[in-house]
């Protein structure tokens, strides 16, 4: 007897429909054949499935079983095929009859005792199920149900065991769909523990961070050890706008596909903050592998990627950041296919001013020679620096500010400024693909960043003196536009241009 069920396979972060066909026919000896490009985890499922059937109180078919996973050219991996294969074997052997196989997709891993285990990518699978004509719902392990239920357009049926799944499909057991709790999830998980009020001093750095957050500009901080660079960076997500529903789902899909969601938290409600170690590989940073998987830049999607001790990173690893910084996506190409992952993130980098870290520090002596400093700074390429909009100095904080100063500017006060500037940008770019000042095209820069004679003269002298590239010239104009938005000015003023030029610190000859 032949049984057919619908399921899904993950490719990157996307779910693709797969049809499970199970044919049980008389044979001289019991044999199970699995075809359709199964990877190791799927091949091993036949052993798990057989014991799960017996331990759940059903009869293991003593016949020839052929299991086909179509389309045949799509590689199948992960253990989420256990449950559909098992149900197919029971239906093919006459132990289960159901009219629901065509209306409900099935995913789930099984233990040897027949209990279900959570699967990776449940959200992507539910989204794909909602887009499939004829599918009314999806049957998932109980632990993955809350994640899949984020998709409101489809019924999500939670099952804790093979016996429950059989009961549902046979009609003997009614299972209520898991309700979608989007608003409740956002209220529960959208709170931050950190606040900029914890940071004493560094008000100039906070001003630069507000500008960076308002226009979604990339930021580089230079300062001695212990000056607060990491502390500042960790608090940047607290002043960014709250994640929207679509942004949250985009980010959650990535974490779900990698199994990185926290237990009991089916939705990402705060902006991600990723801080990889400087020994990270190219594939770890941008994604890769024989079967492409997302890297740190995709895990930072809609959030912040913080690279501490920037010169310690492998130069080649940093160079692969150049294209994603421009495009907002990263494409991993392999011989058989190519996969595109989202990578719209705000880059924040930090470094010391010299190898020892104490150059220009009035309280500590620096013994680094100019050639040593040049070699240290030379690890960061010019093209990468060009793509970072603001370069700021974060000096050491004086004892007086640490001990007696009042609390610093709070995250709420900074966030109010950011939201006001973002509202201006939303109105300005309505109807276009651009969302932030940092994303303005050359044509949009000419339209929205017009300068009078005084501003033009300041910019001209700055370009000539600092040797700014064409890209850095455009970065100055974009930052100027953001500063003007924060001031509520419709036109860029000379003070806005001067402040923006001051944030091109590393374009100057300070290191020799």
pLDDT of residue 404: 67
Q: What is the pTM of this model?
A: 0.91
pLDDT of residue 508: 56
pLDDT of residue 512: 39
**Blockwise average pLDDT, block size 10, the chain, 512 residues:** 94 94 88 92 91 95 94 89 96 94 96 96 96 95 95 95 97 94 86 89 93 96 91 96 92 95 90 96 90 93 96 91 91 84 95 87 84 86 86 85 76 96 95 93 93 92 81 91 96 94 72 42
Three-state DSSP at 485 gives: helix
pLDDT of residue 507: 66
Is the CB of residue 509 less than 8 Å from the CB of residue 478?
A: no
pLDDT of residue 359: 84
pLDDT of residue 510: 46
Q: Provide the CB-side half-sphere exposure for 82 (13 A, CA).
A: 31
Distance separating alpha carbons of residues 258 and 284, to the nearest angstrom: 13
Three-state DSSP at 270 gives: coil
CA distances from 343 to 305, 338, 432, 479 (A): 10, 16, 19, 21
Q: Strand locations in 217-286, DSSP E?
A: 219-222, 273-274
């Amino acid at each position: 007897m032949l049984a057919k069920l619908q399921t899904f396979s993950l490719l990157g972060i996307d779910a693709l429909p797969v049809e499970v066909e199970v044919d049980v026919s008389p044979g001289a000896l019991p044999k199970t054949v699995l075809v359709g490009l199964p990877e190791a985890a799927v091949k091993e499922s036949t052993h798990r499935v057989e014991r799960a059937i017996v331990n759940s109180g059903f009869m293991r078919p003593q016949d020839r079983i052929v299991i086909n996973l179509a389309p045949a050219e799509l590689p199948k991996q992960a253990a989420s095929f256990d449950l559909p294969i098992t149900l197919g074997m029971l239906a093919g052997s006459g132990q289960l009859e159901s009219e629901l196989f065509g209306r409900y997709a099935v995913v789930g891993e099984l233990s040897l005792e027949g209990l279900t285990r959570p699967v990776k990518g449940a959200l992507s699978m539910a989204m794909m199920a909602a887009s499939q004509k004829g599918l009314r719902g999806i049957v998932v392990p109980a632990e993955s149900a809350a994640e899949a239920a984020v998709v409101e357009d489809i019924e999500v049926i939670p099952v804790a065991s093979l016996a429950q799944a059989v009961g549902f499909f046979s009609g003997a057991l009614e299972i209520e769909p898991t309700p979608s709790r989007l608003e409740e999830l956002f209220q529960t998980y959208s709170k931050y523990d950190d606040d900029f009020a914890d940071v004493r001093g560094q008000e100039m750095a906070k001003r630069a961070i507000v500008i960076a957050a308002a226009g979604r500009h990339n930021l580089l901080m230079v300062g001695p050890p212990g000056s607060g660079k990491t502390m500042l960076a960790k608090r940047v997500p607290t002043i960014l706008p709250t994640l929207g529903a679509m942004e949250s789902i985009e980010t959650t899909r990535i974490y779900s596909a990698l199994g990185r969601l926290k237990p009991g938290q089916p939705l990402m409600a705060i902006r991600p903050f990723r801080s990889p170690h400087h020994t990270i590989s190219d594939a770890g940073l941008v994604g890769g592998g024989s079967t492409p998987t997302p890297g740190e830049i995709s895990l930072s999607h809609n959030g912040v990627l913080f690279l501490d001790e920037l010169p310690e990173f492998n130069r080649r690893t940093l160079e692969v950041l150049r294209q994603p910084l421009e495009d907002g996506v990263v494409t991993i190409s392999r011989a058989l296919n190519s996969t595109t992952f989202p990578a719209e993130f705000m880059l924040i980098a930090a470094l010391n001013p010299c190898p020892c870290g104490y150059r220009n520090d009035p309280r500590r002596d620096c013994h680094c020679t100019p050639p040593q400093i040049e070699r240290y700074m030379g690890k960061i390429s010019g093209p990468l620096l060009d793509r970072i909009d603001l370069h700021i100095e974060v000096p050491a904080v004086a004892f007086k500010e640490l001990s007696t100063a009042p609390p610093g500017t709070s995250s709420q006060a900074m966030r109010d400024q950011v939201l006001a500037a973002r509202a201006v940008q939303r109105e300005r770019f309505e109807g276009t693909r651009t969302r932030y000042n940092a994303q303005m095209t050359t044509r949009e820069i000419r339209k929205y960043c017009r300068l009078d004679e005084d501003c033009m003269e300041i910019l001209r002298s700055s370009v000539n003196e600092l040797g700014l590239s064409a890209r850095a010239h455009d970065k100055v104009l974009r930052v100027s536009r953001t500063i003007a938005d924060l001031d509520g000015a419709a036109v860029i003023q000379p003070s806005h241009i001067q402040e923006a030029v001051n944030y091109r610190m590393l374009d100057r000859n300070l290191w020799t």
